[in-house]
Amino acid sequence: MNKIILIGNLTRDPETGSTQGGVNFTRFTIAVNRPFTNAQGERVADYFDVICWRMLADRCAKYLFKGSKVGISGSVQRRQYEDRDGIKRTSFDVVADEVEFLTPKTSSAPRDDSRGGYVPEEPHGISDMQPVDSDELPF
């Protein structure tokens, strides 16, 4: 079984692209705090490279920004490649199946960015719900 679940914060704005076949992807890195401090009393974090594909990639590119808190569920993928000097390297990526946006709606989002100056919007949530009169319920 290959399953990973992480909660962390983006270390930079997401980067987007597409394959030669036209499939969209979004990459970002999250920092995940360990549940303890080191001998100097500092919090220690682990960093994970995350990649999302297709519609999930589009949503992440639209709504996430540096500092966003996210919950990731997916799998770990090992990648081997040669660097510029011809040295074989190995890296591990988290391939996201699900991304939960955990940053509260009231958090400040960047007012401008290199992708066109948009302000990310949060998806509709509980704050958008309207109360229902119990007399209108069929049961």
Please name the residues in contact with 84: beta carbons below 8 A apart, sequence gap of 6 or more.
Answer: none
Read off the pTM: 0.72
Which has more confidence, 27 or 110? 27
The residue whose two tokens read 């040295």 is 87
Per residue in 70-121, pLDDT tens?
999 999 999 999 999 999 999 999 999 999 999 887 665 554 444 444 444 4
Q: Is the pLDDT of residue 128 over 90?
A: no
pLDDT for the residue 104:
81
Q: For the ranges 4-8, 24-28, 80-84, 108-112, which has the lowest average pLDDT?
A: 108-112
- Which range of residues forms the domain containing residue 123? 4-136
DSSP 122: P
* Mean pLDDT in residue range 59-72: 96
Buried b (16+ CB within 10 A) or exposed e, 19-45: eeeeebbbbbbbeeeeeeeeeeeeeee
Q: How many domains does the chain have?
A: 1
CATH of the domain at 124: 2.40.50.140
Going through 21-121 in order, the beta strands assigned E by DSSP cover 24-37, 43-53, 69-82, 88-101
For the chain, helix (H) and strand (E) counts, in that order, are: 1, 6
Q: How far is CA 28 from the centre of its chain?
A: 6
As given in the structure block, the two tokens for residue 89 are 């390297």
